[in-house]
Amino acid sequence: MNSQTNTLEECYEFLLSFAAQGLTAEKDSERDRHLRAHLQRAVDALRSLESSSEELVRQADLQPVEKYQAFFAIMVHDAKKASTAIELVLVQPAISAQLIDNLNASMHLRTLLTDLFLISEVLKPLEAHAAN
């Protein structure tokens, strides 16, 4: 799950930087291809969250299991919403800074990032304990 979190954080930071530049859309430009690559990596990471969270629950023997499963179910639901918003942006012929700014402001994307930050903090003591 760490790789998905890192991919999504990296994408979000890139999107913030892109939006801050206030650039107009340039279809098929190098910048457009780079932006689309970041967005596609984010979608791919979102699609793998469900399987990686299920694997994490099993491998780490997280207890009480039903609490983790319930949270991960919510997170996967949020990931599907965020993925849908990103995919909507990806199908646009040209992607402007304003469009990315609106995506960044989307509650779906922000909610998902908050989910990921929350579970990362919850898992830190478990990871530290496992490392010892």
Of residues 64, 82, 60, 66, the one with CA closest to residue 5 = 82
For residue range 46-70, what is the model confidence (pLDDT) as tens digits? Answer: 999 999 999 999 999 999 999 999 9
Mean pLDDT, rounded, for 84-88? 98
Supply the pLDDT for residue 22.
87
Q: Residues, the chain, total? A: 132
Mean pLDDT, rounded, for 90-113? 95
Instruction: Give dist(CA 104, CA 20) in Å, integer.
Output: 11
Question: Residues of the chain with pLDDT > 90: what percent?
Answer: 77
| Domain residue spans of the chain | 2-131
For residue range 120-129, what is the model confidence (pLDDT) as tens digits? Answer: 999 988 777 7
Q: What global pTM score does this model have? A: 0.90
Average pLDDT value over all residues in the chain = 92
Supply the pLDDT for residue 66.
97
Supply the pLDDT for residue 38.
96
